[in-house]
Amino acid sequence: MDETLEKLRNINQLRRALTHLVTPASIVAAVAILFGTWYFMYLFDTFVTSNLKALPGSALELAIPYYNVFKQITGKMRERIISAHEKKGSIVRNVPPDKISIADLDTLQHLLKLTDIPKHKATYSRIQPIEGRPAIAQSLDPEDHRRLRRVIAPAFSIKYLMGLEPLLLQVCRSLERKILSMPRDSDGYITLDLFKAMHHVAADMIGITTFGGTFCLVENGQHPLPTSVAQIIKATAIRIAIPPFARDVYNKLVYDQINDFQYNFIKDSIHKRQAANANANDGVYTDILQWIVDHGDKGVFDEVDMVNMARTMLTAGGETSANTMAWATSLLVSNPSTLERLRTELDDAFPGSPNQALPLETLKRLPYLDAVLHETLRLKPIVSKVYREFEKDTELSVRDDDGNPKTYTIPAGTMTYIPIAAVQTSSKVWLRANDFYPERWLNDTNTVTEEEVSQFGIDGNAHTKSSSGINKSKGGHWGKPVLCNKQAFMPFSLGARDCVGRNFAWNEMRIILGHIIRRFDILPAYDTSVEVPGVDFIAYQISRPDGLPIKLKPRV
């Protein structure tokens, strides 16, 4: 009994002692000590022991943990990388302990075209809609990527895509009818949000070519599938940025619901097409969906492959064209002389009624239209960066701001951004780097033709054809800017992993922009002296609260 009482007294004494020790002040002190210790180790690793400590970078930004996470989830990573390269040079250290960014032109050509530096495993595994079954854009295995590309590439050949022209023109006509049905202001103009309109028409073009019919977004303004694209793009950007423990929670609360909806909708579209094919009375389909289904029926694709292919078209194909068209319009209305020159070219090429359909074959031959598109893609690339990874220790020779070579050792496992936006807008690479100046793409004969991918080899490398006239100015490098540097133009990436659907995107953009400029007089309905802001959630897009308000009047 006495022993029991003694133990109870000791326990009570201990409890009282702990009560005095564990106070709010002591808890705060303990947390501060733990954080201080962790932060000291973070700084020590970042600035003392890191194998990348020799690379230039902002000491202040490197000293702020999760600085890039904040920039990523707020859509401002594009500006952060551009600024870093302008201030620190062609190679910069972005995020401790193992992330860098490379904007040196010769180095990028070597890494992407010759070495084919692999995608960053940690990043691309996070953005796979179906874990372990990546679509072509997320594929990490070179053999799997070649397999997918070998099968789908012919569906994006020039010849096959020309057969889709009537479908694209059908959607473009639908947009014109929608605009003409809207109420007019007292000055005869129609005001609409062209940012939203471009997304609607691009989504309907994807719908009619890949899902068996338009989503009727142009007419009705609503459809759950294209709406889910914007949602999943932002959700994916957040998944890339946040740490693993938070990612699992975010997936369950947000991402998985959007992802499951997309998968089931696309699967149903495929099943409907397969059922229609079984009914001989339904006719013969020649769109991209049919290409996908045919290869599923042959056993080349399973259901997941087919869904992934269609989903890639929905996300990559629609967003690239829609956002490029919105940015092009904003740049044109801010530069009236450029807009007038483009309209004159279209009027000369199509001297009849403004109401006529504009054949793609003629649109593809218009040098100033292509120059405007090139310049828009240079200034506002929709994908501002891609992610690669060094598999082994690598010696890199890059140029400093004076153009002199400098060598760094990059350890295995280092992730590097390929900063497309920084390369394409740097004053160290381009003269008049931040000016919207389409004339830079014209040669002495005022002609320019986009180099279109005519076929793809089994290795996935693109073979291009180009008519004479494109400005192929070379000789520039980091620290030696030139007016036009084709080597620094990479809106669809470079090498074996460049965008397989680029021809489709070019066709969409030529048709949409050509018809809008030819058919309507255009004025801005906002203050063009204020730069149009953008936000970068995987795709770089306009972020004005009211979109892109534009005034249009039918031409006669």
Task: Give the three-class secondary structure for 435.
Answer: coil
CA atoms within 13 A on the CB side of 174: 23
Per DSSP, what are the bridge partners of residue 552?
190, 522
- Cα–Cα dist 491/383, whole Å: 7
- Which H/E stretch holds residue 408? strand 405-410
Rg, Å, the chain Cα set: 27
388 and 120 Cβ atoms separated by less than 8 Å: yes
Number of helices followed by number of strands (H, E) in the chain = 23, 13
CA of 151: how far to CAs of 115, 309, 317, in Å?
A: 23, 11, 18
- Cα–Cα dist 321/316, whole Å: 9
The answer to whether 484 is a known ligand-binding residue is no
Which residue do the tokens 């060598």 mark?
407
Token pair for 555: 């031409």
Which residue do the tokens 């809207």 mark?
182
- Cα–Cα dist 89/101, whole Å: 10
Among the listed residues 504, 138, 140, 496, the one whose alpha carbon sits nearest the alpha carbon of residue 312: 138
Name the burial class of residue 399, with classes exposed (0-12), middle (13-18) and buried (19+) by CB atoms within 10 angstroms of its CB: buried
CA of 54: how far to CAs of 58, 59, 92, 482, in Å?
A: 12, 12, 10, 29
Task: Give the three-class secondary structure for 535.
Answer: strand
513 and 325 Cβ atoms separated by less than 8 Å: yes
554 and 180 Cβ atoms separated by less than 8 Å: yes
362 and 436 Cβ atoms separated by less than 8 Å: no
Before 545, cis peptide (omega within 30)?
Answer: no
Per DSSP, what are the bridge partners of residue 453?
464
Which residue do the tokens 């040079």 mark?
89
360 and 162 Cβ atoms separated by less than 8 Å: yes
- Which H/E stretch holds residue 190? strand 190-193
Q: Which residues are annotated as a binding site for heme?
A: 499
Q: Which residues are annotated as a binding site?
A: 499
